[in-house]
Amino acid sequence: MSPHVPSALSRRTALSRRTVLRAGAAGALLIPAGTAIAACSSGETTPGVRRRRPTLTHGVAAGEVTTSGALVWARSDEPARMLVETAATESFANAKAFRGPLLTPASDGTGRVRVAGLEPGQTVHYRVTLEGDDGARSEPLTGVLVTAPTAPSDITFAWSGDVVGQGWGINPDLGGMPIFGAVADARPDFFLHSGDAIYADGPVEATKKQNDGSIYRSLTTDAKSRPAQTLDEFRGNYAYNLTDEHYRRFASSVAQIISWDDHEVLNNWFPGEDLTGQDRDGYTEMNVDVLAGRARQAWTEWQPSELGRPTKPGEQGRLYRKVPYGPLLDVFVLDMRTYKDPNPNAWDGGDSDGLLGAEQTQWLIDGLNRSTATWKVVANDLPLSIVVPDKNTDRPRARPSMEAVGQGDPVGPLGREIAFSRILSETKEVPGIVYLTADVHYTAAISYEPDRAAYSDFSPFWEFVSGPLHAGAFPESPLDTTFGAKYEFVHAPTTADISPAEGFQHFGKVSVSGSSRTLTVDLCDATGKSLYRKELTSE
């Protein structure tokens, strides 16, 4: 057995509030996405007159962390070179320098730099600067990240999803979106974003009435005033979130692992869907694949990730992947959108591919069986047994369309359950599998037991649900019992669409002990207070 190594968190020097505030200091200089980025002049300049310095418009962020590197993201208001430095301390003594790409209008001014040669299991300070074509440099912004360990170590990470949903926007009366500050203050080694990072289909108006009759005020922008259909409107949804100081502080202080769900495009979408005849207010583009293509491009531009880009003409870049985080943890991030079957087919008795498609299904089975990590966390952006209907594509005199895996029937696997029954059966000898999800806008702990299931060829496991981060909260939904699902804890309102000001906003926290190898899940409220705790052993 390898010796226990203290966590990167316990080794961190106390991060001064000055560090994280500097990282979010671009708040007064934000430039909306889609705003034309100034082109570099090729003409002569007046002698002695310097062009204005480029500006980092939306803070900085990091993602895709490994044992020796990470991806650093930023955006410029005009064409400029992205420069990144890394160091062990915030003084940036003995810093390593990385020269990044030229940020241009082609990517909406966004860009990323892969920093490498870092020490494993350490807190790393990074600093981003822009360099204009005449050498003028921007004011720098700083952030921190934690590299993955190579030895058994304490690990802490957080997860949740669902941001600015149901028209509940950034509220100045709340100070913005304070839950992101609570996530940052919890100081996880990384954050697993379970999807719905934006609500591209959810316009934000200046005011909206809450369930208690009071008025909720939101800041809004042109891009958030209508459903996103153009590329610039999708871009503007990501930019909107980053106008919040809490979100920018979170993004600069916690590296992210990001998936996507439906609202990055529109509610409950699936490939090949035709919106004609559906109740989709404000939409003129009826081809979901067209919308999804624009949405995917905006995702790849505005997230700290290298994924999702085409690898060759005619193909989409892959979003599902395994993220190894030392010998105790592997994270399997699923893509439950790109290969999804139509929602009206959710009751099909011959659907062997379901949500994931054949290739991703086999990849997950093989990956779980090959993993030597103590814990295998599966990040499923749609829940396994919570019943989530899709009224947009219901057909008269037919069984209701379904958005997630379960349908609510008490019998053996149908539709998307068929593929998951295979996943559960072919990994039943693998210890330490835990599923984490969001999507349903409440938090819950769900146990799965073969002895109460209609389909029993699997080993007991747990699924934990968190969210929303900043969106409407909703009552608990019923469970499909095909796999023996049972609520062990639920924190949800009794009425629908509760605003962030009225409570029921959540994130989850997972702690893995480097010494005992136990995994502990805390389901937290918007302040970071634990509402429920479950400790699991991998045996």
Q: Are 275 and 283 in contact (CB under 8 A)?
A: yes
The whole-number pLDDT of residue 352 equals 75
**pTM of the entire predicted model:** 0.91
List the chain pLDDT tens, one digit each, 539 residues. Answer: 433 444 443 444 333 333 333 443 333 344 445 544 444 333 334 455 556 899 999 999 999 999 999 999 999 999 999 999 999 999 999 999 999 999 999 999 999 999 999 999 999 999 999 999 999 999 999 999 999 999 999 999 999 999 999 999 999 999 999 999 999 999 999 999 999 999 999 999 999 999 999 999 999 999 999 999 999 999 999 999 999 999 999 999 999 999 999 999 999 999 999 999 999 999 999 999 999 999 999 999 999 999 887 666 666 789 999 999 999 999 999 999 999 999 999 898 887 788 999 999 999 999 999 999 999 999 999 999 999 999 999 988 789 999 999 999 888 899 999 999 999 999 999 999 999 999 999 999 999 999 999 999 999 999 999 999 999 999 999 999 999 999 999 999 999 999 999 999 999 999 999 999 999 999 999 999 999 999 999 87
Helix (H, G, I), strand (E, B) or coil at 73: strand
CB atoms closer than 10 angstroms to residue 90: 17
Tokens of 180: 């992101």
pLDDT of residue 45: 42
Q: Domain 155-536 in CATH: superfamily?
A: Alkaline phosphatase D (PhoD) (3.60.21.70)
Question: Per-residue DSSP letters for 273-326?
Answer: -B-TTS--TT----BHHHHHHHHHHHHHHHSS-STTS-SSTT-PPP--EEEE-S
Q: What is the pLDDT of residue 243?
A: 97
Q: Which residues contact 230 (CB under 8 A, 6 or more apart)?
A: 294
Reference 50, options 41, 58, 39, 59; nearest CA is 41
Do residues 428 and 457 touch, judged by C-beta distance below 8 A? yes
Query: Are both 8-146 and 155-536 of the same fold?
Result: no
The structural domains of the chain, with segments of one domain joined by +, span: 8-146, 155-536
Q: Which CATH number fits domain 8-146: 2.60.40.10, 2.30.42.10, 2.60.40.380, 3.10.105.10?
A: 2.60.40.380
pLDDT at 25: 39
Q: Determine the pLDDT at residue 315.
A: 66
160-189 pLDDT per residue, tens: 999 999 999 999 999 999 999 999 999 999
What pLDDT is stored for residue 313 in this prediction? 64
Residue 349 confidence (pLDDT): 85
The three-state secondary structure class of 158 is strand
Helix (H) / strand (E) element for 19: namely: helix 17-23
Rounded Cα–Cα distance for residues 29 and 134 (Å): 21
